[in-house]
Structure 1
Amino acid sequence: MHRIRIRLIAAALCLLAAVAGCERATAPAPVPGLPPPGPVATVQQRLRELHRSDLAGYARHSVPPALYAELDRAWREDRSRWPLTELPLDDRLPGLLTALGAPDAERKLRASYRREFAGAHSELRSAATTLGLLGVRHLKAEPGYSDDERAHYIALVEALSDWGRQAPLGATDRANPAITRLAAAARRTGLHRAPAWQQAGMAGSLQRLGPFFGTLKQVLAGYGLDFDRALDDARVELVEHKGDRARVKLHYRLAERPIDAGLELQRIDGRWYLADVLTHARTEAARQPH
């Protein structure tokens, strides 16, 4: 039973890290005659756009058009689910939506919550501590991250672990309405049935997912984890700019913990892109069928 609870809490914390750790985009329409935004303004746009939970915009504006076309083809050929692959437990997201969108999901999930979590405040606090330690250990050993990503995600996991030790995760009066809201949001995506992902394609699926992530942010704010406030208060400063490469620092607070993240950017055809996102996107575009 303890292992079951740990796995469920781990999935929840990883989903929270996903919301916190990814820059999502939908850039405003370019104004004729004005140059594209510089590196600082590009990151600031990503922060504003994350506030709007526009995942389709992220895919469209976070990579150059030619790479976007390759990624769209990989999605339709069922080779990749970028940009969802930027998230921890991306392979669990379809299953999460299926569970939330299933008939009678609210009753089943509330019953499961009562068995596993209701009133288990001490165990939940202990699990948050354990998962924080395990998450940091995994991030230090995982070779797929740049140094900047690794440092950023470790800071996020530590902040979420701190939050998890204080949040009222065992309070039934908060969990019941949260389950209702998330189940309704999952059904509205239309993605709780597996074939819908490929049928909708990348842009269509991401458009449907955006409101679900918006609802998730609102639910988390009710537990004291306010991502939109963190985004509103974030600051970006230029550290270095040499030719088509730039480096910025992102400063924000999450769960009352200050986080400083270094971000590398690359300019392609006059526009700036986050270098780590480009690296992962290229890997996903080249992924072969399973």
Structure 2
Amino acid sequence: MTLTLRTALALLAAIALLGGCERGRVPEAASGRRAEPGATEPTQAVARLVDDLRRNDLAGYARHAVPPALHAQLEIAWAQGRTRWPLTELPLDDRLPGFLAALATPGSERALLATYDRQFAGAHGELRSAAATLGLFGVQYLRAESDYSDDERNHYVQLVGALSQWGKRAPLGDPKRARSAIPLLAAAARRTGLAGEGGFARTGMTRSLQRLGPFFASFKQVLVGYGLDVDAALAGAEVTVAEQDGNRAKVRLRYTLAGQRIDALVRVERLQGRWYLSDALRHAQVEARGPAPAATP
């Protein structure tokens, strides 16, 4: 389906913006793991990341999105508090630690459901209007934001349009669904073990992403209940080469999300015999060089 983690996880942010699993121990990173073969064809660079997201393998996504040397730099930058890549690809990434903490707090289900009942239960018209408004503002933001390439911007505009149309018909004000979704997300947040001050820093990049994978799966499960099947979109993605010139190529990505057909172009490039998404590389390189923050979450 989507090209970068920012795009894919925007789907998961939709419920939170509009108002709104796996169980057991998450395996830790194995020591001495063999190096994995890289993408030897342009389409493989996209298809592998799509598969990682479909399988909720965020640590795998991070390994496959960048060359090993850059991945090692990002691990160090994470440990030093200079980045939370690839979580920085998320909308509102700075809110994620607080979001997890709020869900993981003992008794959060009762408090969050009470808030939902006061503000959103039965407010179908207001939530549909909010979805339409967010769609308009989202497109305006994307067109003005200089951090995106033209290809990213074109893709994200299509994505925001599809999500806005979904939000206008999704049952976001249904209390029955909320009473199922909130406890599911709260339990998944607790299982990450990342809630609380310093959770991400203590755990490190790879293990944090491993622990977030089941939370990602639970969020996708919640979205299915609201009529948005992320995994179906991922599974139905079509990836073909649009053009290629030496070490650079354009890959066409087509998928259907919430009934809307998305047709996007992705730039990829070959480094040391392996293909990577150009925009993902650019974002990761910026994050690896990032300055230390004033305070580490």
Same topology, TM > 0.5: yes
**Which of 237, 254, 258 lines up with 1:251 in the alignment?**
254
Deviation at 1:48, TM superposition (A): 1.6
Name the residue aligned to 2:14: 13
Q: Deviations over 1:134-153 (max 9, x none)?
A: 11111111111000111111
Q: Could you tell me how far 1:194 is from its partner in structure 2? A: 2.1
Q: Which runs of 5+ in 1 are unaligned?
A: 1-10, 18-27
- Asked if the contact 1:217–1:226 (Cα under 8 Å) also holds between the matched residues in 2, the reply is yes
- Rounded to whole Å, the distance in 2 between the matches of 1:151 and 1:111 is 39
Question: Aligned letter for 1:286?
Answer: R
How far apart in 2 are the matches of 1:36 and 1:144? 26
Given that residues 252 and 265 in structure 2 are in contact (C-alpha distance below 8 angstroms), is that contact kept between their aligned partners in structure 1?
Answer: yes
Q: Distance in 1 between matches of 2:36 and 2:106?
A: 44
Deviation of 1:59 (Å): 1.2
Which consecutive aligned stretches of 4+ in structure 1 deviate over 2 angstroms post-superposition? 11-17, 28-31
Percent identical residues: 57
SS at match of 1:267: strand
Does the CA contact (< 8 Å) of 1:235 and 1:251 recur in 2? yes
Q: Structure 2 vs 1, CA of residues 237 and 37 (structure 1 numbering), >3 Å: closer, same or farther?
A: same
What residue is the counterpart of 1:184 in the other structure?
187
Alpha-carbon distance in 2 for matches of 1:16, 1:124: 10
Greater RCO (Cα-Cα under 8 Å, separation 6 or more) = 2
Which residue of the partner structure matches residue 92 of structure 2?
A: 89
* Mapped partners of 2:205, 2:50: distance in 1: 22
CA 1:174 to 1:36, structure 2 compared with 1: closer, same or farther past 3 Å? Answer: closer
Please list the CA deviations of residues 13-50 of structure 1 after superposition, one character each: whole Å capped at 9, or x if unmatched. Answer: 28689xxxxxxxxxx9857xxx8431112212221221
Aligned: 1:42 with 2:45: yes
Report the TM-score when normalising by structure 1: 0.88
Specify the SS of the correspondent of 1:193: coil
**Equivalent residue for 2:108?**
105
Which of 154, 177, 192 is matched with 1:151 structurally? Answer: 154
Asked if 2 retains the 8 angstrom alpha-carbon contact of 1:14 and 1:89, the reply is no
Q: Deviations over 1:139-184 (max 9, x none)?
A: 1111110001111111111111100000000000001110010000
- Asked if the contact 2:192/2:211 (under 8 Å) is kept, the reply is yes
Matched letter for residue 268 of structure 1? L
Secondary structure at the aligned position of 2:204 is classed as helix
Following the alignment from structure 1 to structure 2, what is the Cα–Cα distance between the partners of residues 15 and 85? 17
Post-superposition Cα deviations, 1:177-199, rounded to whole Å, max 9, x if no partner, equal 10010000000001111211101
Q: Which residue of 1 aligns with 2:120?
A: 117
Letter of the 2:286 counterpart: T
Residue 12 (structure 1) shift = 4.4
Inter-partner Cα distance in structure 1 for 2:154 and 2:241: 18
Question: Can you give the 5+ residue segments of structure 2 that lack an aligned partner in the other structure?
Answer: 1-11, 19-33
Partner residue in 2 for 1:56: 59
Asked if the contact 1:30/1:36 (under 8 Å) is kept, the reply is no
Match of 2:242 in 1: 239
For residue 247 of structure 1, give the secondary structure of its aligned residue in structure 2: strand
Residue 220 of structure 2 corresponds to which residue in structure 1?
Answer: 217
Q: Amino acid of the residue matched to residue 232 of structure 2? A: R
Letter in 2 for 1:40: T
Query: How far apart in 1 are the matches of 2:81 and 2:232?
Result: 36
**In the aligned structure 2, how far is the partner of 1:64 from the partner of 1:12?**
28
Quote the Cα distance in structure 1 between the aligned partners of 2:206 and 2:13. 25
> When the two structures are aligned, how many residues end up with a matched partner?
267
Matching residue within 144, 152, 170 for 1:141: 144
Q: Is the 8 A contact 2:39 2:276 kept in 1?
A: no
Amino acid aligned to 2:61: Y
- Which letter does structure 2 place at the counterpart of 1:13? A
Q: 1:202 to 1:144 in 2, by over 3 A?
A: same
CA distance in 2, matches of 1:184, 1:129: 31
What is the distance in 1 between the residues matched to 2:133 and 2:201? 37
- Report the Cα distance in structure 2 between the residues aligned to 1:62 and 1:194, rounded to whole angstroms: 28
1:66 corresponds to 2:69: yes
Is the contact made by 2:15 and 2:223 (CA closer than 8 Å) also made in structure 1? no
CA displacement at 1:80 relative to structure 2: 0.5
